[in-house]
Amino acid sequence: MSFRTTGSTGSTTASSVGYVEDVSPGRGALPPRAWYASSDARSLSLNGDWSFRLSPTADAEDDSFAAEGYDAGGWARVAVPGHWVLQGDGAFGAPIYTNHLYPFPVDPPRVPSENPTGDHLRYFDLPGDWSSDGGAVIDGGAVLRFDGVESCARVWLNGTDIGEFKGSRLPHEFAVGHLLKPAGNVLAVRVHQWSAGSYLEDQDQWWMPGIFRDVTLLHRPAGSALDFFVHASYDHVGGIGTLRVDSDVDGRVLVPALDIDVATGEAVTVPVEPWTAETPKLYDGELVTEGERVPLRIGFRTVALEDGLLKVNGKAILFKGVNRHEWHPVKGRSLDLETMREDVLLMKRHNLNAVRTSHYPPHPAFLDLCDEYGLWVIDECDLETHGFTEQNWRDNPVDDDRWTPALLDRAARMVERDKNHPSVVIWSLGNEAGTGRGLTAMAEWIHGRDDSRLVHYEGDWDCRDTDVYSRMYADHAETERIGKRLDGGTHKRRQLPYILCEYGHAMGNGPGGIADYQRIFEAHERIQGGFIWEWIDHGVTHPELGYAYGGDFGEELHDSNFVCDGLVFPDRTPSPGLIEFKKVIEPVRIDGDGSAGTVRVRNAFDFTDLSSLAFEWAYQVDGKTIEAGALSVPALLPGESAEVKLPQPPAGGPAGEALWTVRALLAEDTAWGRKDHQVAWAQLPVVERLLPTVTPGGGPTASERLIYLGPASFDVRTGALKTIGGIDVTGPRLDVWRATTDNDEGAWNGNTCYSRLWRELGLHRVQHRLDGVELGADALTVRTRVAPAAREVGLRTTYRWTADDSRLKLTVTVDPEGDWTVPLPRLGIRFGLSSADAVTWYGGGPGEGYPDTKSASMVSRYHSTVDELQTPYVRPQENGVRPDVRWAELGGLRIDGDPEFGFAARRWTTEQLDAAAHLTDLQAGDTVWVNLDHGQMGIGSQSCGPGPLPQYHLLAGPTEFSFVFSEIG
Ligand code: GAL
**Number of helices and strands (H, E) in the chain?**
11, 58
Q: Strand, helix or coil at 761?
A: helix
DSSP 28-94: SPPPP------SSS-EEE--EEEEEEEEEETTSS-GGGGSTT---TT-EEEEESS-GGGSGGGTT--
Q: What is the dihedral of CA 343, 344, 349, 351, to 10 degrees?
A: 110
Model confidence at 227: pLDDT above 50: yes
- pLDDT tens digits, one per residue of 882-933: 999 999 999 999 999 999 999 999 999 999 999 999 999 999 999 999 999 9
Closest CA to 299 of 255, 331, 329, 262: 255
The DSSP secondary structure of 872-912, one letter per residue, reads --SS--S--PEEEEEEEEETTEEEEEEEEEEEEEESS-HHH
Q: What is the pLDDT of residues 789-810, one digit of tens each?
A: 999 999 999 999 999 999 999 9
| pLDDT at residue 5 tops 60 | no
pLDDT (mean) for 185-213 = 98
Residue 124's H or E segment, with its range, is: strand 114-124
Residue 28 Cα to ligand 1 midpoint, Å, equals: 34
* β-sheet bridge partners, residue 376: 354
Among 432, 473, 558, the mutation site with the greatest number of ligand 1 atoms within 8 A of its Cβ is 432
Exposed, middle or buried: residue 656 (CB in 10 Å: 0-12, 13-18, 19+)?
A: middle
Pocket test for ligand 1, best of 101, 358, 389, 502 (most atoms within 8 A of CB): 502
pLDDT at 72 over 70: yes
Mean pLDDT, residues 408-428: 98
**Are the beta carbons of 506 and 566 closer than 8 angstroms?**
yes
Give the other-Cβ count within 10 Å of 555's Cβ: 18
Mean of pLDDT over the chain? 96
Counting from 1 in the atom list of ligand 1, the atom nearest the Cα of 359 is: 9
Domains and CATH numbers, the chain: 18-220 (2.60.120.260), 228-304 (2.60.40.10), 318-583 (3.20.20.80), 586-687 (2.60.40.10), 733-761+803-967 (2.70.98.10)
Within its chain, how far is the Cα of 505 from the centroid?
9
CA 210 / ligand 1 centre spacing (Å): 23
Tally of CB atoms within 10 A around 536: 26
Å from CA of 746 to ligand 1 middle: 14
Q: What is the pLDDT at residue 13?
A: 44
State in Å: Cα 758 to ligand 1 middle: 26
704 in Cβ contact with 715 (< 8 Å): no
pLDDT over threshold 50, residue 93: yes
Distance CA 197, CA 212 (A): 16
pLDDT of residue 652: 82
User: From the CA of 533, how far away is ligand 1's center (Å)?
Assistant: 7
Give the model confidence (pLDDT) of 272-314 as tens digits: 999 999 999 999 999 999 999 999 999 999 999 999 999 999 9
Sheet with 240-247, strands from edge to edge, namely 228-235, 240-247, 268-271
Best substitution site from 204, 384, 941 to test ligand 1's pocket, by max atoms within 8 Å of Cβ? 204
Phi, psi of 249, rounded to the nearest 5 degrees: -115, 125
Cβ proximity of 743 and 507 under 8 Å: yes
Establish whether 889 is a catalytic residue. Answer: no
DSSP, collapsed to helix, strand or coil, labels residue 702 as strand
Q: Which atom of ligand 1 is nearest to the CA of 562?
A: 12
Q: Ligand 1 atom 11: the closest Cα is on which residue?
A: 944
Closest-CA residue, ligand 1 atom 2, reads 204
Confidence of residue 139 (pLDDT cuts 50, 70, 90): low
Chain-centre distance for alpha carbon 464: 29
The pTM (predicted TM-score) of the whole model is 0.97
In this prediction, residue 128 carries a pLDDT of 80
* Residue 750 binned pLDDT confidence (cut-offs 50, 70, 90): confident
pLDDT at 121 over 70: yes
692-709 pLDDT, tens digit per residue, is 999 999 899 999 999 999
Q: How far is the CA of 391 from the centre of ligand 1 (A)?
A: 19
Residue range 54-73: average pLDDT? Answer: 96
- Pick the residue whose CA is nearest to atom 3 on ligand 1: 204
Taking the centre of ligand 1 as the mean of its atom positions, its distance from the CA of residue 145, in whole angstroms, is: 31
Q: Are 359 and 407 in contact (CB under 8 A)?
A: no
Distance (Å) of CA 73 to CA 50, 52, 77, 183, 932: 12, 10, 10, 19, 64
pLDDT value at 848 more than 60: yes
**Active-site option among 21, 173, 326, 432:** 432
- Check: CB of residue 246 under 8 Å from CB of residue 167: no
CA–CA separation, 606 vs 190, rounded Å?
49
Cα 452 to middle of ligand 1, angstroms: 28
Which atom from ligand 1 is nearest to the alpha carbon of 432?
Answer: 8
Q: Using most ligand atoms within 8 A of CB, pick from 99, 549, 558 the residue to mutate for ligand 1.
A: 99
pLDDT at 653: 79
In the predicted model, what is the mean pLDDT of residues 52-70?
96
Q: Relative to the CA of 203, which ligand 1 atom is closest?
A: 9
Residue 132 has a pLDDT of: 56
Q: Report CA(204)–ligand 1 centroid distance (Å).
A: 6
What is the rounded CA–CA span in Å between residue 524 and residue 517? 11
Counting atoms of ligand 1 from 1, which one is nearest the CA of 431? 8
pLDDT digits 0-9 by tens, 149-172:
999 999 999 999 999 999 999 999
The atom of ligand 1 lying closest to the CA of 100 is 10
Q: What is the pLDDT of residue 395?
A: 97
Q: What is the CA radius of gyration of the chain?
A: 32
Nearest residue to 65 (alpha-carbon basis) of 132, 14, 128: 14
Work out the average pLDDT over 582-596: 97
What is the rounded CA–CA span in Å between residue 75 and residue 88?
Answer: 12
Please give all residues whose beta carbon lies within 6 A of any atom in ligand 1, as ranges.
Answer: 99, 203-204, 359, 431-432, 472, 502, 505, 533, 562, 565, 944
In ligand 1, the atom with minimum distance to the C-alpha of 358 is 9
Q: By C-alpha distance, which of 447, 481, 442 is closest to 459? A: 442
Percent of the chain at pLDDT above 90?
95
pLDDT at 943 over 70: yes
Residue nearest to atom 4 of ligand 1 (CA): 204
- Please answer whether residues 265 and 249 qualify as being in contact, where contact means their C-beta atoms are separated by less than 8 angstroms: no
95 vs 542: CA distance, rounded Å: 12
Length of the chain: 969
Type of residue at 6: T
* 8 Å CB contact between 793 and 761: yes
Please identify which of the residues 502, 745, 848, 878 carries the catalytic annotation.
Answer: 502
pLDDT tier, 489 (very low <50, low <70, confident <90, very high otherwise): very high
Is residue 309 exposed (0-12), middle (13-18) or buried (19+ Cβ within 10 Å)?
A: middle
Q: How far, in Å, CA of 300 to CA of 2, rounded?
A: 29
- Name which residue sits closest to atom 6 of ligand 1, judged by CA: 944
Nearest Cα neighbor of 671 from 322, 258, 355, 279 is 279
CA-to-CA separations, 22 to 163, 330, 417, in angstroms, rounded = 13, 32, 24
| Across 453-473, average pLDDT | 97
10-14, 227-231, 420-424, range with the lowest pLDDT: 10-14
Task: Note the pLDDT of residue 133.
Answer: 53
3-state secondary structure 481-508: HHHCCCCCCCHHHHCCCEEEEEECCCCC
Distance of CA 787 to the CA centre of its chain: 40
Residues with Cβ within 8 Å of 844's Cβ and at least 6 positions away in sequence, in order, are: 854, 857, 858, 859, 882, 883, 884, 885
Q: Is the dihedral of CA 25, 26, 30, 35 positive or negative?
A: negative
pLDDT in tens, 854-894: 999 999 999 999 999 999 999 999 999 999 999 999 999 99
Query: Quick one: which of 325, 6, 29 has its CA closest to 153?
Result: 29
Beta strand 613-621 with 624-631 is: antiparallel
| Pairwise CA distance, residues 946 & 500, whole Å | 13
Tell me which residue has its CA closest to atom 9 in ligand 1.
Answer: 204
Contacts of 132 (CB under 8 A, 6+ apart): 139
Mean pLDDT on 418-430? 98
For the segment 14-38, the average pLDDT, to the nearest whole number, is: 91
How much is the pLDDT for 352?
Answer: 98
* CA–centroid distance, residue 205 to ligand 1 (Å): 9
* Whole-number pLDDT of residue 625: 96
Is the pLDDT reported for residue 204 higher than 60? Answer: yes
Cis geometry, peptide bond prior to residue 32 (ω within 30 degrees of 0): no
Contacts of 573 (CB under 8 A, 6+ apart): none
pLDDT over 70, % of the chain: 97
Q: Which residues contact 210 (CB under 8 A, 6 or more apart)?
A: 78, 80, 81, 82, 83, 84, 85, 86, 118, 149, 150, 191, 332, 334
**pLDDT (0 to 100) of residue 275:** 98
Ligand 1 center–CA 623 separation, angstroms: 41
> Residue 539 carries which DSSP code?
P
502 a catalytic residue = yes
What's the pLDDT score for residue 131?
67
The Cα 784–Cα 342 span in angstroms is 54
Contacts of 689 (CB under 8 A, 6+ apart): 622, 656, 657, 886
Give the sign of the dihedral formed by CA 450, CA 454, CA 455, CA 460. positive
Tell me, in angstroms, the distance from the centre of ligand 1 to residue 328's CA.
19
